[in-house]
Amino acid sequence: MVVSNREPYVHQFKKGKVEYIRGAGGVITALDPVMQASNGLWVAQGSGDADRKVTDKDGKLRVPPDNPSYTLKRVWLTKEEENGYYFGYSNEAIWPMCHLTFQRPVFREEDWKHYEGVNQKFADAILNEIGDKKAFIWIQDYHLCLLPRYLKEKAGSQLIIAHFWHIPWPSHEVFRICPQRKEILEGLLANDLLGFHIRYHCDNFLTAVDRELESKIDRERFSVIKGGHETLIRPYPISVDFEGISSAAASESVQKIQEALVEEFHLENQTVLLGIDRIDYTKGIPERMLAVDRLLEKVPDLKEKITLFQVGEISRLHIPRYKALNDEINALVEQINWKHSTDNWRPIILVRRHLNFQELLALHRHARVCLVSSLHDGMNLVAKEFVSSRIDNKGALVLSEFTGASRELTDAILVNPYDRENISEGIYVALNLPEDEEQKRMVKMREIVQNNNIFRWAGKIISELLKFEFKE
């Protein structure tokens, strides 16, 4: 059983009809192919306005709707719960605390209460589902820190639980500002296995436990023993479905979509710099736009030749910081386009509409350069999707050194997103890479993603889980 906040398929009413889209973000990109291959149960928050219409009385339905291969069970939250648990504690407290982007976290007591309540609600939904059976539970991310403890308290002997933390774990200097730090650590230590993207995050977590709780830390085994229960702490760099993406990218339908997009956005004679992100202050979107602005100032010859094609999926808009970022990005696009545009050309195209998976692959295929300028990112799967799409072995990746992906994709052009000159130089280098050099780098990056693909990632976690024994 996989548990996450975000659901993989969202049903919405469109012109009186029910349509579905795939949920946004790294958790879905990573876990959906794994679930399609394994026919399990995925428990997540119902979030679409037509979700209730398509589920049975237990909140369940088979997905993906076009090719059902696993079951999705939706947990329903009230507006107040969603506000406190999701917008409030998860995304105004934990998210900024874990990403070093100088956004001050907000810890509100009432958000914490909802966070506790919703974690309990997920626990009830799961316990109800398993009855007296034994189960392997695989929890995703920072929305559900307390869930492992709630589950183990009620049904410890029936459950083996793994938890994967999809975002960075901060240094203790940062984590110790959290008023609920002990509860969060105790919740997570009810897991049997706790995974992070990189070793550095594991170390930070162990230091936090060391400073905050009475427990035994085994640095050799990389584990914590608390109250007689052991939790293994392991790095598992997440990935994407390399083969699935490569073969979809090679399909005729993606090629047709590519042609249609090129025509729709007049990209025929353009060298495309591509950004695909949720609109989030951790992603460095203004920084990237300003770097393109700088590049055009320094190399005016590039005018009318390059286009930054930015796909921005609206995200968490009820949070003031996200609304402000959205406004800031709109204003920047306006300002930079006004400054450099000519009669037939503008340097930035910002696309707000939802693009489906095939459309995103078509863009990856078309781009000359993919720009990932996150200020801080656990992994960043857009970088790995780009590489997986490049069956032609072409294209260059400009990648922030503050992403988990930069540890693996060392053949990208690594940049410091806080340094505008450095990003613009990175783009310039990418645009001017000799063909054989570009190809050499792409081949190496493709090998890396092919080897550490999403199935290998999931396989490592699941085979570690299978070593645990149920307690009698």
Binding site for ligand F6P (CB under 6 A): 6, 24-27, 141, 166-167, 278, 315-316
Please name which of 63, 60, 50, 62 lies closest in space to residue 22, comparing C-alpha atoms.
63
The answer to whether the beta carbons of residues 337 and 348 sit under 8 Å apart is: yes
Instruction: State the greatest distance between any 2 C-alpha atoms of the chain, in Å, as a whole number.
Output: 75
Give the number of other Cβ atoms within 10 Å of residue 460's Cβ. Answer: 15
Structure tokens at 281: 């202050």
CB nearer to ligand F6P: give 152 or 166. Answer: 166
CB nearer to ligand F6P: give 26 or 88. Answer: 26
CB nearer to ligand F6P: give 30 or 397. Answer: 30
The answer to whether the beta carbons of residues 141 and 148 sit under 8 Å apart is: no
Residue 210: CB minimum distance to ligand F6P, A: 26
Please name which of 97, 246, 251 lies closest in space to residue 167, comparing C-alpha atoms.
97
Residue 156: CB minimum distance to ligand F6P, A: 26
The answer to whether the beta carbons of residues 407 and 198 sit under 8 Å apart is: yes
Residue 27: CB minimum distance to ligand F6P, A: 4
Find where tokens 């088979």 sit: 62
Alpha helices in 299-377 (DSSP H): 320-340, 357-366
Residue 162: CB minimum distance to ligand F6P, A: 16
CB nearer to ligand F6P: give 201 or 278. Answer: 278
Residue 236: CB minimum distance to ligand F6P, A: 14
Find where tokens 């958000």 sit: 111
The answer to whether the beta carbons of residues 156 and 147 sit under 8 Å apart is: no
Report the amino acid identity of residue 356: N
CB nearer to ligand F6P: give 25 or 187. Answer: 25
CB nearer to ligand F6P: give 8 or 395. Answer: 8
Q: Assign 218 to helix, strand or coil.
A: strand
∠ CA 409-412-414 to the nearest 5 degrees? 105
Residue 103: CB minimum distance to ligand F6P, A: 15
Q: Assign 373 to helix, strand or coil.
A: coil
Residues linked to residue 44 through DSSP beta bridges, in sequence order = 74
Structure tokens at 198: 């990189």
Residues linked to residue 396 through DSSP beta bridges, in sequence order = 369
Residue of minimal Cβ distance to ligand F6P: 25
Task: State the Cα–Cα distance between residues 226 and 204, nearest whole angstrom.
Answer: 18
CB nearer to ligand F6P: give 319 or 363. Answer: 319
Residue 141: CB minimum distance to ligand F6P, A: 4
Please provide the DSSP assignment of 68-123 as one string: --EEEEEE---HHHIIIIIIIIIIIIIHHHHS-SSPPP---HHHHHHHHHHHHHHH
- DSSP H or E stretch at residue 450: helix 435-451
Distance (Å) of CA 234 to CA 94, 162, 187, 209, 380:
21, 11, 17, 15, 19
Residue 354: CB minimum distance to ligand F6P, A: 12
The answer to whether the beta carbons of residues 59 and 91 sit under 8 Å apart is: no
Residue 105: CB minimum distance to ligand F6P, A: 15
Instruction: Decide the pairing of beta strands 2-3 and 396-400.
Output: unpaired
CB nearer to ligand F6P: give 45 or 424. Answer: 45
Residue 208: CB minimum distance to ligand F6P, A: 19
Residue 238: CB minimum distance to ligand F6P, A: 9
CB nearer to ligand F6P: give 90 or 388. Answer: 90
Residue 199: CB minimum distance to ligand F6P, A: 19
CB nearer to ligand F6P: give 167 or 409. Answer: 167
